[in-house]
A and B are shown apart, each in its own frame.
Chain A
Amino acid sequence: MGRRVSVAWMNLLHERTRLLVAIAGVAFAVLLIFMNLGFLGALTATTTNFYEQFNADLFLSSPETLEVSTTTAFPRERLYQAEGIPGVSRVMPLYSGYVLWRNPDPPHTSRAMFVWAYNPDDPVFLMPELETPSARRILQQPNVVFYDLRSRPDFGSSEIGTVTEAARRQVTIGGNYSLGGGFAADGTLIMSDQNFVRYLSPRPLDLVDTGLIQLTPGANPERVVRALEQALPADVDVYTKAGIMLRDQTYWISSTSIGFIFGLGVLVSFVVGIVIVYQILYTDIRDHLPEYATMKAMGYRNRYLFQIVLQEALLLAAMGYVPGLIVSLGLYELTLNATAGSLPVQMNLSRVGFVLVLTILMCSVSGLISVRKALSTDPAEVF
């Protein structure tokens, strides 16, 4: 084994400049794949990261709802029915919709603002700013809302005490929180259900947009989901938190074509990687054809030659992967800074592993294609 590795290694090392270019080629293919996956992952995460802040284990939603910002409402009775299922400790109705928010600063342009609304006594969100008793009291006041600090700057001042208009009614910012609105909302507000009725008139409170369910400690979520599905009519679907996030992500990835776009980006980068490695291995085999023929004439089997080329391929994969990974970490950082956090690209272990597997696959495929020439060598012909 040791001897064979050194042949592969020597073959590669023989021409230093070419090796460097080869490594750069593989590294760039790896980098392109990492960037495509990074962008896809970041966009996917931004569609649903606000769900992490929901203080609920299970969710009820209409089967006609495709994602959380454009919901079809369902009757509130479903939540009361759910409350009777063993394992359910609390149910909370959540209302949502859009209001036109007038920018309090000149030129006072209005933009569509997304609203979450609930009974202030329900612990719907996990944000610490909303958990204090004083926050609850402020939310209960008429025409007072909490304003998302991660709303786009075009909505204007986020300062507590700012007075402006929402849906042509006066409104006061009573507090702040940090949540973000995913793909659908450029900005979000939180208000009490009573205020929701005022601003989104004629919305009645007996039609719920999303139902939140907390489980008793120790309850088995899967069992409760099954019990709920059995007990409730077909006008609501039951989701776990991961399940509802997946529903929203699937919707956004397909409706904006980003899944297709970056998937194709990964595929094309992968093919380009194959071409790069193939070029290198092919040139190498061509240059050492007499040597390979000699080895064959000496009695080495095809398998041996095959292993050498495959080892070269794997060495290239390893040497190209590492700089590719390092540079992508740098570019991820650059992307974070350049987009001011609106594109949260983050490396994770499964992606590191997945791209490593892709790289090995990429190099092996090129190895297999290019080795055919060496295998078909007839020693007599070369000499």
Chain B
Amino acid sequence: MRRVYDCFVNFTFLKRVPLAWLNLTHDRKRFVTSLGGVAFAVLLMFVFTGFMNALYDSQIQLLTKLNGEVIVINRLKNNMFVPASFARRRLYQVRAFEGVADAYPFYISEGAWKNPETGQSFSVRTLAFNLGDPVLSLPAVNEYIAELQLPNAALIDTRVRPEIGPTEAGIVSELADRRIRIVGTFELGTDFASGNGNLVMSDVNFLRYFADRGPEEDTRSFATADLGVVKLKPGATVEKVVAALQQALPADVLVLPRDGPDGFVTRERLYWQENTNIGFVFTLLTTMSFFVGIILVYQILYTDVADHWAEYATLKAMGYSNAYLLGVVLQEAGFLSVLGFLPGFAVSYLLYNAAAAATGLFFQMTSERVVNLFVATFVMCLVSGVVAVRKVQSTDPAEVFGG
């Protein structure tokens, strides 16, 4: 009965917490250094997973802003990089189907933008649509509809690369060797297919710039569209409409739901996952950061165990079990992971913002990613704790005091 009671007391959380906590905070300066170590390991993991996610997320940013449940594209357009367009009359056909509220054409083209300050040209992506169609769910764009109706007027993305130059209303520069006037700004960000940034303009202006650019470039007209954005009536089932459209329309177009596992957005992300080494590179770097973290935490815990060697031996001589000592060290690991994670997370958050500003990529700190990395941090501290505690467990009290 007495043993059961002992066990109970030993495993009561409250009684052991102070020892682990006091061991850690005993030397304030070292405690801060330890937290710094864990925080840096956390930062490393955040940086590398952050880059991987940013490179992937950026590719689908524009696609998630399309205001329609169903997307129509040319069958050849297997990613946004392929400049294949389809006959716009397919969208007229789409409008006749049950459940379809409207179908909007969306035009995309690359063109050379002249930096108004340096005079150097860089390619940017131009997005265009009929100003009467609510194609993009970007509130900033919809505010400027009246200004966009002017000839040679466009909006510029505030998250373009620095090479593009200043991004404010009132700038006058050149796009595809024609004068262009910026009447406002919106926020989107760059991806692999966007070159250095994005412009938004009306379809009529789009023709002014891209209808006839000389023999080396494709001519553009309203006969073809790059994306068809299909808005459904409330209550219509996406799968049913997609199936009906795909069956009825000729095979030159592909009809996809925007979201879902077989959707347009997922398809784009999968293309970049399968066709680049991004995943391999950053998974390797993140794994290595994890091991760096284990080493950092092990150093801390090991030093602590070494410093309190005699105390641990005394505890053992007094009859405390190995499980108790393990509990103390594991709690230290737990404290370290929580307290080290917070500053690591805070610094990473700032770094994400800085990196997003510098690259125009889309750095996203979702709660799922934060939780995943916290679990990784905890496991990291746990592994180091288990390794460090082995030394205490094999302690023979007689040896410590005898020597």
Shortest Cβ gap from A302 to chain B (Å): 21
Count of chain B residues with a beta carbon within 8 Å of a chain A beta carbon = 56
Instruction: Flag if B30 contacts A111 (CB, 8 Å).
Output: no
Instruction: Indicate whether A276 sits within 8 Å of B43 (C-beta atoms), given known contacts A70-B123, A283-B30.
Output: no
Instruction: Flag if A18 contacts B288 (CB, 8 Å).
Output: no
Instruction: Flag if B295 contacts A28 (CB, 8 Å).
Output: yes
Q: Is B221 an interface residue (CB 8 A)?
A: no
Q: Is B195 an interface residue (CB 8 A)?
A: yes
- Choose among B51, B195, B299 the residue that contacts A18 (Cβ–Cβ < 8 A): B299
Distance of A118 Cα from B226 Cα, bound (Å): 32
Distance of A31 Cα from B361 Cα, bound (Å): 27
1/0 per residue, CB under 8 A from A, across B54-90: the answer is 0100000000000000000000101001111000000
Distance of A133 Cα from B30 Cα, bound (Å): 75
- Choose among B195, B292, B355 the residue that contacts A264 (Cβ–Cβ < 8 A): B355
Interface residues of A in 45-82 (CB under 8 A from B): 64, 66, 70, 72-73
Closest to A259 in B: B359
Shortest Cβ gap from B73 to chain A (Å): 13
Interface residues of A in 327-360 (CB under 8 A from B): 331, 335, 338-339, 342-343
Query: Contacts of A32 on B, CB cut-off 8 Å?
Result: 44, 285, 288-289, 292
Distance of A100 Cα from B358 Cα, bound (Å): 35
- Choose among A15, A36, A204, A338 the residue that contacts B215 (Cβ–Cβ < 8 A): A204
Shortest Cβ gap from B29 to chain A (Å): 8
1/0 per residue, CB under 8 A from B, across A15-37: the answer is 10110011011001101100110
Closest to B162 in A: A254
Instruction: Flag if A28 contacts B292 (CB, 8 Å).
Output: yes
Shortest Cβ gap from A331 to chain B (Å): 7
Instruction: Flag if B33 contacts A260 (CB, 8 Å).
Output: no
Instruction: Flag if B216 contacts A275 (CB, 8 Å).
Output: no
Distance of A76 Cα from B299 Cα, bound (Å): 67
Instruction: Flag if A272 contacts B41 (CB, 8 Å).
Output: yes
1/0 per residue, CB under 8 A from A, across B195-211: the answer is 11000000000000000
Instruction: Flag if B292 contacts A25 (CB, 8 Å).
Output: yes
Query: Contacts of B303 on A, CB cut-off 8 Å?
Result: 18, 283
Shortest Cβ gap from A320 to chain B (Å): 11
Distance of A257 Cα from B360 Cα, bound (Å): 9
Instruction: Flag if B292 contacts A342 (CB, 8 Å).
Output: no
Binds A, one of B18-26, B94-102, B276-284, B369-377: B276-284
Instruction: Flag if B196 contacts A264 (CB, 8 Å).
Output: no
Closest to A17 in B: B302
Instruction: Flag if A335 contacts B40 (CB, 8 Å).
Output: no
Instruction: Flag if B280 contacts A254 (CB, 8 Å).
Output: no
Our count of residue pairs bridging A and B at CB distance below 8 angstroms stands at 131
Distance of A64 Cα from B120 Cα, bound (Å): 8
Instruction: Indicate whether A111 sits within 8 Å of B281 (C-beta atoms), given known contacts A28-B288, A35-B288, A256-B192.
Output: no
Instruction: Indicate whether A265 sits within 8 Å of B48 (C-beta atoms), given known contacts A35-B288, A111-B82, A204-B215.
Output: yes
Query: Contacts of A276 on B, CB cut-off 8 Å?
Result: 37, 292, 295-296, 299
Q: Is B349 an interface residue (CB 8 A)?
A: no
Distance of A257 Cα from B50 Cα, bound (Å): 13
Instruction: Flag if A279 contacts B37 (CB, 8 Å).
Output: yes
Instruction: Indicate whether A109 sits within 8 Å of B47 (C-beta atoms), given known contacts A18-B303, A255-B161.
Output: no
- Choose among A21, A97, A278 the residue that contacts B302 (Cβ–Cβ < 8 A): A21
Shortest Cβ gap from A45 to chain B (Å): 13
Interface size class of A (residues with CB under 8 A): 35 or more
Instruction: Flag if B295 contacts A342 (CB, 8 Å).
Output: no
Shortest Cβ gap from B248 to chain A (Å): 21
- Choose among A97, A275, A280, A283 the residue that contacts B36 (Cβ–Cβ < 8 A): A275
Distance of A282 Cα from B31 Cα, bound (Å): 12
Distance of A264 Cα from B357 Cα, bound (Å): 14
Query: Contacts of B163 on A, CB cut-off 8 Å?
Result: 254
Instruction: Flag if A21 contacts B299 (CB, 8 Å).
Output: yes
Instruction: Indicate whether A28 sits within 8 Å of B44 (C-beta atoms), given known contacts A255-B195, A260-B359, A339-B277.
Output: no
Instruction: Flag if B215 contacts A207 (CB, 8 Å).
Output: yes
Q: Is A85 an interface residue (CB 8 A)?
A: no
Instruction: Flag if A343 contacts B281 (CB, 8 Å).
Output: yes
Instruction: Flag if B291 contacts A109 (CB, 8 Å).
Output: no
Distance of A286 Cα from B307 Cα, bound (Å): 11
Instruction: Flag if B216 contacts A73 (CB, 8 Å).
Output: yes
Distance of A23 Cα from B274 Cα, bound (Å): 37
1/0 per residue, CB under 8 A from B, across A302-339: the answer is 00000000000000000000000000000100010011
Instruction: Flag if A271 contacts B361 (CB, 8 Å).
Output: no
Distance of A39 Cα from B280 Cα, bound (Å): 11
Distance of A24 Cα from B291 Cα, bound (Å): 10
Instruction: Flag if B40 contacts A272 (CB, 8 Å).
Output: yes
- Choose among B216, B299, B302, B358 the residue that contacts A207 (Cβ–Cβ < 8 A): B216
Q: Is B383 an interface residue (CB 8 A)?
A: no
- Choose among A66, A72, A269, A331 the residue that contacts B122 (Cβ–Cβ < 8 A): A66
Instruction: Flag if A265 contacts B41 (CB, 8 Å).
Output: no
Q: Is A261 an interface residue (CB 8 A)?
A: yes
Q: Is B153 an interface residue (CB 8 A)?
A: no
Shortest Cβ gap from A103 to chain B (Å): 11
Instruction: Indicate whether A109 sits within 8 Å of B76 (C-beta atoms), given known contacts A276-B37, A283-B303.
Output: yes
Closest to A71 in B: B216
Shortest Cβ gap from A265 to chain B (Å): 7
Distance of A207 Cα from B216 Cα, bound (Å): 9
18 example contacts (A-B, Cβ-Cβ < 8 A) are as follows: A15-B306, A21-B302, A39-B281, A66-B121, A109-B78, A203-B215, A207-B215, A260-B355, A264-B47, A272-B40, A275-B33, A275-B36, A275-B296, A279-B37, A279-B296, A331-B284, A335-B284, A343-B281
A-B contact sample (9 more), CB < 8 A, given A15-B306, A25-B292: A28-B295, A31-B288, A32-B44, A72-B216, A109-B76, A109-B78, A112-B81, A272-B44, A343-B277
What is the interface of chain A, defined by CB distance below 8 A to chain B?
15, 17-18, 21-22, 24-25, 28-29, 31-32, 35-36, 39, 64, 66, 70, 72-73, 97, 100, 109-112, 152, 186, 202-204, 207, 254-257, 260-261, 264-265, 268-269, 271-272, 275-276, 278-280, 282-283, 286, 331, 335, 338-339, 342-343
**A-B pairs, 7 with minimum CB distance:** A257-B359, A28-B292, A272-B40, A110-B76, A25-B295, A64-B121, A343-B277
